[in-house]
Structure 1
Amino acid sequence: MELAPQLRRIGNDIVAAHLIVADDGITLVDTGLPGHYRDLVRELGEIGRPISDIKGIVLTHGDSDHIGFAERLRSELSIPVYIGAEDADRAKGAKPPATPKDPRRIGPMIRFFAYAISKGGLRIPPLGEVIPVQGGDILPLPGSPRVIAMPGHSPGSIAVYVPAVRAVFVGDELTTRHVLTGVEGPQPAPFTDDQAGSSSSIDRLAGLDVDWVIPGHGAPWRGDAPSLIAAYRAAEG
């Protein structure tokens, strides 16, 4: 689905991944769940681009519902996978720490887990190899993605800022639709390692000149970063 010229989405408000489409190739930001591979192939067919046009994958963090089909592309097509250095082991299969129990409602929670299972979420292959990145790095990929360190949801969480499409991808540092409660609007995301750290990291978005703030779960935020931050703070209470 096209969000804007050169900016496309696969998946839905439950779990999503995104494509930066440029003349010199395509950059993937996150890879959702294994079953989203078919959605990727279908999306590429709609825009007339071969899968070989994908030049790299940037993972906002190493949780299973973001690494989805990344290993398939890496192992079959030698597509490089970039991730925040502190999340490299998590992407390779290290077990994340237990997180505080989040609020939940039975309906939204069942829909989230049912969707994840339908997309292969019970068997997600870990990454065999990743390229660690740090805040401030500009990656050699279409769109020249810039890495912003955003520790909190996980130690190596990053935001991916792509000025070419006036967007920043924030992974699970925030959500606009809570997968366990169904509540919509910018707010803290569930399954977060360090909520205080995550809340602090949100302020790193303040100076970005963007039209889109795009989480891994929930609808993309169409608007500037300060407005999003204000809505997030209001939801924090």
Structure 2
Amino acid sequence: MELTPQLHRIGNDTVAAYLVVTDDGITLIDAGLPGHWRDLDRELAAMGRSVADIRGIVLTHGDSDHVGFAERLRRDHGVPVFVHHADAARARGETSTKPGMGGMRIGPVLRFLGYSISKGGYRTHHLTEVHEICDGDVLDLPGAPRIIGLPGHSPGSIAVYVPAVSAVFVGDGLTTRHVLTGRRGPQPAPFTDDPEAATESLSRLEGLDVDWVLPGHGTPWHAGVPELLAAYEAARAA
């Protein structure tokens, strides 16, 4: 799905990954679920591009619904995969956590599970090799993505700020559609290791002047960072 000519989404409000498209190539933000490979192929073809144009993948964290097809791109096409050093072991499948899921509704849960299964969520291949990155790094990739640490959802969760496309990609730092309740709008994401730390980390987005805030789950946000953070706080207080 084209958001702008330089910014595309694959997947949907349930699970999403993003493409930053420049004349120098493409940076992929997250890799969704394994079955999103076909969505990636279709999106690239619609742009007249191919996998050969992808210069790197930046993972917002190491959970399986963001690792998706990353190993396939790395193994078969030599695309480097970047992840915060605190989530490198998670991206390799060496560690994981199982935080409480909190409240849920059966309908949204079943839709989330059904979609995940349909996109091969049961057969994720973890990374065998990653490039470790840190808060503050500016990567030598199309769009010059800058790394902003957002620990909380996982120790190595990050936001990826790309001024070239006026966007910040927040992974599971927050969600705009809760996959377990169906509730819409900015709010804390489920499956978060440390909810209080995740909320505190969002202050690091203050001052970013972007047109797009793009979560891993939920509708793209197009109304500014201050409005996003205000809506998030209102949801927490409700």
TM range (shorter): over 0.9
Amino acid paired to 1:152: G
SS at match of 1:122: helix
Question: What is the rounded CA distance, in whole Å, between the counterparts of 2:4 and 2:234 in structure 1?
Answer: 28
Structure 1: which 4+ aligned runs deviate by more than 2 Å? none
In the alignment, is the contact (CA less than 8 A) between 1:61 and 1:154 conserved in 2?
yes
Correspondence for 1:91: 91
Correspondence for 2:182: 182
Question: What is the rounded CA distance, in whole Å, between the counterparts of 1:87 and 1:150 in structure 2?
Answer: 12
SS at match of 2:9: strand
> What's the Cα RMSD here?
0.6
Deviation of residue 156 (structure 1)?
Answer: 0.2
Correspondence for 2:106: 106
Relative to the length of structure 2, the TM-score reads: 0.98
Question: What is the rounded CA distance, in whole Å, between the counterparts of 2:135 and 2:101 in structure 1?
Answer: 29
Deviation of residue 151 (structure 1)?
Answer: 0.2
| CA offset digits 1:121-159 (Å, max 9, x no partner) | 001000010011111100000000000000000000000
Deviation of residue 98 (structure 1)?
Answer: 2.2
- What is the count of residue pairs matched by the alignment? 237
Amino acid paired to 1:74: R
Amino acid paired to 2:46: E
Question: What is the rounded CA distance, in whole Å, between the counterparts of 2:57 and 2:3 in structure 1?
Answer: 19
Correspondence for 2:160: 160
SS at match of 1:100: coil
Correspondence for 1:231: 231
Deviation of residue 95 (structure 1)?
Answer: 3.3
In the alignment, is the contact (CA less than 8 A) between 1:174 and 1:188 conserved in 2?
yes
Deviation of residue 8 (structure 1)?
Answer: 0.3
Unaligned runs of 5+ residues in structure 1 are: none
SS at match of 1:221: coil
Segment of structure 1 superposing worse, 32-41 or 93-102: 93-102
Q: In the alignment, is residue 198 of structure 1 matched against residue 198 of structure 2?
A: yes
Question: What is the rounded CA distance, in whole Å, between the counterparts of 2:220 and 2:144 in structure 1?
Answer: 21
Correspondence for 1:120: 120
| CA offset digits 1:31-66 (Å, max 9, x no partner) | 000000000000000000121000000000000000
Correspondence for 1:39: 39
Relative to the length of structure 1, the TM-score reads: 0.99
